[in-house]
Amino acid sequence: MNSPVTNLQPTFTPRPVPVALLEALKTRFGVQFSSAQAVREQHGRDESAFTVPPPQAVVFAQSTQDVSDVVKLAAQYQVPVIAFGVGSSLEGHLLAVQGGISLDVSRMNQVLAIDADDLTVTVQPGVTRTALNVAVKSTGLFFPIDPGADASLGGMAATRASGTNAVRYGTMRENVLALEVVTASGEVIRTGTRAKKSSAGYDLTRLLVGSEGTLGIITAVTVKLYPLPEAVMAATVSFDNLSDAVQTTMTIIQLGVPIARCELLDATTVRLVNVHSKLTLPEAALLLMEFHGSPAGVQEQVATVQTIAADNHGHAFAWASTPEQRTRLWTARHNAYFAGLQSRPGCKAITTDACVPISSLADAVLASVDEARMSGIPYFMVGHVGDGNFHMGYLIDPDQPEERERAEALNQKLVRRALELGGTCTGEHGVGLHKMGFLLEETGAGGVAMMRAIKHALDPHNILNPGKIFAID
Amino acid sequence: MNSPVTNLQPTFTPRPVPVALLEALKTRFGVQFSSAQAVREQHGRDESAFTVPPPQAVVFAQSTQDVSDVVKLAAQYQVPVIAFGVGSSLEGHLLAVQGGISLDVSRMNQVLAIDADDLTVTVQPGVTRTALNVAVKSTGLFFPIDPGADASLGGMAATRASGTNAVRYGTMRENVLALEVVTASGEVIRTGTRAKKSSAGYDLTRLLVGSEGTLGIITAVTVKLYPLPEAVMAATVSFDNLSDAVQTTMTIIQLGVPIARCELLDATTVRLVNVHSKLTLPEAALLLMEFHGSPAGVQEQVATVQTIAADNHGHAFAWASTPEQRTRLWTARHNAYFAGLQSRPGCKAITTDACVPISSLADAVLASVDEARMSGIPYFMVGHVGDGNFHMGYLIDPDQPEERERAEALNQKLVRRALELGGTCTGEHGVGLHKMGFLLEETGAGGVAMMRAIKHALDPHNILNPGKIFAID
């Protein structure tokens, strides 16, 4: 299985978009409809390094009815519809590889119901994670899932996103309770309830979470909230050897320490982050951790982790217990991607994301970082290592096709190694265009055939974000 | 929507089972094949109050290949195949309402791989939860999910089971990482990996978990394990009013206390349990709780809960800190179902199970217990109330059809109320035959149509446990 499994340039196979459809959308949506070049281009790209021509038109939905009406018209003409939130996906999810209509739901940004006594909240899909936390602030509750970007809840559900808090609070898989979805025929259905658990039939909620807009368009999301922890402490600890930092992580998880965040940056990435965020972290491998709980519980966790880190030659322990100190550290961590981009002006980042069983974390991370170093391609490496999940970004000159090929070769080695170690080709970014070949390697033809059968059953004319996750033919 | 939604007697519409199929199975499986009346009857019932004629034959599978071969033969003749573990399901899941072959996987009882360093274990579907915990005991890890019966892991995955530990550790939904499954064509596929999280395509694992044997037959299950907590303490507290016990639970959850188990029994049920398990618990509403964590963490949780309970007029606090005391209490709790059956010799239990958002727990539980009391039908009530989940069992004389009708009327009131409160018709027992009408009420025609489309796509001849969850026509 050494054939290339990522396309350096996706195939563009546009389907006809009849003028009658564009006219019908324009009539129905007025100023919510746009075919202006700039608007189309903004909706025709994401944070991936792929480029294809933009969608033919954009509709800005303001209600579930709007979404339903767009899909019904698109279904009538068998034209693709691609849901768009904030455009922060990383693997080409939003690209109009078969042409069609971009359905922008960012104006559907209302918080529909805060049920604080049930620890749940229901939002429209365009609400971002930051806006959600502002909206629930007065309840003493919070929503923990935090991908690097200030992504929309609809997009986060569609890609099964997670972030730095997943090691304790889970991903969108564990935190979405219910959805409202427009199906490929334009029908509005509801999946799940606000009950914490259920055995009522097929788990449509979790089938739709992570389906990348290919099985339905999410128009409302109900997620869990959590009480703000009584005590929070963040800590950094440095290691001269990357392997010691990884070993520390593995031991923390295997001992069952209920750590809330456990992030790894290698020395190279710490240097980029220091420059971008004006910090003075020691330029060595860094674990950036956070502990949530009661005051005594946090102290216990910290003591345990400090012992484990010291056993593994950790040094330069530093504590951040004020909200301001913590925010500064975590903002710097969330901006690692931008720190990477800034470090090489004009570059593009080819990002990748894999997740392995925790005992294989050292094998996966150390070899991948070594290969990146040896390649001479600038890179950054950050990891939600408490989950066995890590990312690399290869910072290429887009005008040098040879750099791109080398970066993709590094990506292939990294992902194939993760699969060999019993892991997955993507922990949280999704498949999009970039990981389609790897999904086939990971799941096998039988699993992908099952996905394809489900897709065909629920979207027989293949109008919902076609050309993503797996090939239809 | 006041039409009856549960059938007092399921429709029996057998499909032809050609002699050629039975001969082929007998030739292929020899002594693993049985058409003896006693064996068929044992495989034709579960713990529900339903009766239909038994399957035409039983095959005892010993390998994935065996399962695949049975399904391939059944597919060739378009004959139903019903997977069978230990026969402990409660809602008619195992009944051969369309005839066919029972595929008993209980002899597939090998633990395939204990990956202690990854906190995972992979087992064949016939391994029971008790056997699993014996197998992993030396690792210092445990598997927390504990339905009342000593169910098989395959059955637990198929019904999305949970139990008393779910409030802290989640259900099978959160704890199954990967599956090996035989599809309706007899093909063997794998879903998921041992990585803790993944965004790699459709979540086939969670689609199959809870699909009640209708989309594929599970031949291996990989689940998460957890480090045995450093400290464990169990506690009981009694309340003169059921409502005070429920209010205590709601406050514990809303404050985010990381309680491991939080079970409610009403005074009537405590009396039954005392008799059955020779205990002397005060005959009042009882919360039976367990706390896991560090010694200091457990002490903190206990102190918080004690304060909350005292604020709600709790009394007769008792602590069980030795393993023997705890085992005695939890065994008594797990045997509540049998305590109920024993209390009325010759009775059958019509059980039901609903789950509501936590703030509606009082509304759901108090009215349902009142209705049962007023009805004159003997009953028991137990609840995984930390999850908003509770069960009732109506203990009817099977020779009195009128009692059964009254019990079903109570069940309908209970479930409809749970749905009105934003809950689900089943928290953990599944739909089977008994909740098919309620699933339609809960999910709506659109959601059930989506389930039906998936079923048709993955099992076009409707051979996998047909007639369950929803009607096909």
> How many angstroms separate the CA atoms of A386 and A183, rounded?
36
* pLDDT at residue A431 greater than cutoff 80: yes
Cα B174–Cα B328–Cα B270 angle in degrees, nearest 5:
90
pLDDT, residue B6, reads 53
Select from 2.60.40, 2.30.29, 1.10.3470, 3.30.70 the CATH code of B338-420. Answer: 3.30.70
CB A82 within 8 A of CB A102: yes
- In B, minimum Cα distance to A186 occurs at B446
CB B289 within 8 A of CB B261: yes
DSSP state of B212: T
> How many angstroms separate the CA atoms of A93 and A81, rounded?
12
Q: Is A370 on the interface with B (CB under 8 A)?
A: no
Closest-CA distance, B459 to chain A, in angstroms, reads 10
Listed by start position, the domains of chain A span: 111-227, 230-434
> How many angstroms separate the CA atoms of A30 and A24, rounded?
10
Spell out which residues of chain B touch residue A428, defining contact as CB-CB under 8 Å: 197, 199
pLDDT, residue A472, reads 87
Higher pLDDT, B125 or A320: B125
> How many angstroms separate the CA atoms of A121 and A141, rounded?
10
pLDDT, residue B1, reads 37
B457 contacts A423? CB cut-off 8 A: no
> How many angstroms separate the CA atoms of B245 and B287, rounded?
7
| Measured distance between the N- and C-terminal CA atoms of chain B, rounded to whole angstroms | 20
DSSP state of B233: E
What is the CATH architecture assignment of B231-336?
A: 2-Layer Sandwich (3.30)
Amino acid present at A470 = F
Select from 3.40.50.2300, 3.30.465.10, 3.30.413.10, 3.30.1490.20 the CATH code of B10-228+436-473. Answer: 3.30.465.10
**Dihedral (CA of B170, B174, B177, B178) sign:** positive
B427 contacts A199? CB cut-off 8 A: yes
B209 contacts A207? CB cut-off 8 A: no
DSSP state of B470: S
A197 contacts B173? CB cut-off 8 A: yes
- In A, minimum Cα distance to B469 occurs at A201
- In A, minimum Cα distance to B174 occurs at A174
What is the CATH architecture assignment of A111-227?
A: 2-Layer Sandwich (3.30)
A215 contacts B202? CB cut-off 8 A: yes
Q: What does chain B come to in residues?
A: 473
Q: How many CA atoms lie within 13 A of B356 on its CB side?
A: 25
Measured CA to CA in angstroms, residue B231 lies from A347, B90, B300, B351 at distances of 53, 34, 12, 34
CB A125 within 8 A of CB A153: yes
Closest-CA distance, A429 to chain B, in angstroms, reads 6
**Dihedral (CA of A374, A377, A379, A385) sign:** negative
DSSP state of B128: B
> How many angstroms separate the CA atoms of B195 and A23, rounded?
48
**Dihedral (CA of A61, A65, A69, A75) sign:** positive
* DSSP string for B84-106: ESSS--SSSTT--TT--EEEE-T
Q: Is B471 on the interface with A (CB under 8 A)?
A: no
B355 contacts A422? CB cut-off 8 A: no
Q: Which helix (H) or strand (E) is B135 found in, with range? A: helix B129-136
Strand residue runs (E) in B160-272: 176-182, 188-191, 217-224, 226-227, 231-239, 261-265
A255 contacts B198? CB cut-off 8 A: no
B183 contacts A201? CB cut-off 8 A: no
For B207-223, b/e burial (b = at least 16 CB within 10 A) is: bbbbbbbbbbbbbbbbb
Which residue from B387, B422, B454 is facing A193, i.e. has the nearest CB?
Answer: B422
A189 contacts B450? CB cut-off 8 A: yes
Please give the CATH topology (third level) of the domain spanning A230-434: Vanillyl-alcohol Oxidase; Chain A, domain 3 (3.40.462)
A119 contacts B201? CB cut-off 8 A: no
Spell out which residues of chain B touch residue A429, defining contact as CB-CB under 8 Å: 199
Nearest to B42 by CA among B73, B71, B85: B85
* pLDDT at residue A2 greater than cutoff 50: no
> How many angstroms separate the CA atoms of B52 and B54, rounded?
6
> How many angstroms separate the CA atoms of B54 and B39, rounded?
9
Residues 392 through 451 of chain A touching chain B, CB cutoff 8 Å: 418, 422-431, 435, 438-439, 442-444, 446-448, 450-451
The tens digit of pLDDT for each residue in A150-193 reads 999 999 999 999 999 999 999 999 999 999 999 999 999 999 99
Q: Which of A117, A183, A196, A351 to mutate to test the interface with B (most CBs of B within 10 A)?
A: A196
Fold match between B231-336 and B338-420?
Answer: yes
> How many angstroms separate the CA atoms of B269 and B286, rounded?
9
Put residue B186 in one of left, alpha, beta given phi > 0 → left and psi -120 to 50 → alpha. Answer: left
- In B, minimum Cα distance to A116 occurs at B254
CB B197 within 8 A of CB A355: yes
Q: Is A195 on the interface with B (CB under 8 A)?
A: yes
What percent of the residues of chain B are helix, what percent strand, and what percent coil, each to the nearest 5?
A: 40, 20, 40
CB A419 within 8 A of CB A442: yes
Spell out which residues of chain B touch residue A431, defining contact as CB-CB under 8 Å: 199-201
CB A138 within 8 A of CB A150: no
A210 contacts B203? CB cut-off 8 A: yes
Query: Both tokens of residue A442?
Result: 């990971």
Q: Per-residue pLDDT tens, chain B, 473 aa: give them.
A: 344 445 567 889 999 999 999 999 999 999 999 999 999 999 999 988 889 999 999 999 999 999 999 999 999 999 999 999 999 999 999 999 999 999 999 999 999 999 999 999 999 999 999 999 999 999 999 999 999 899 999 999 999 999 999 999 999 999 999 999 999 999 999 999 999 999 999 999 999 999 999 999 999 999 999 999 999 999 999 999 999 999 999 999 999 999 999 999 999 999 999 999 999 999 999 999 999 999 989 999 999 999 999 999 999 999 987 999 999 999 999 999 999 999 999 999 999 999 999 999 999 999 999 999 999 999 999 999 999 999 999 999 999 999 999 999 999 999 999 999 999 999 999 999 999 999 999 999 999 999 999 999 999 999 999 999 999 86
B428 contacts A197? CB cut-off 8 A: yes
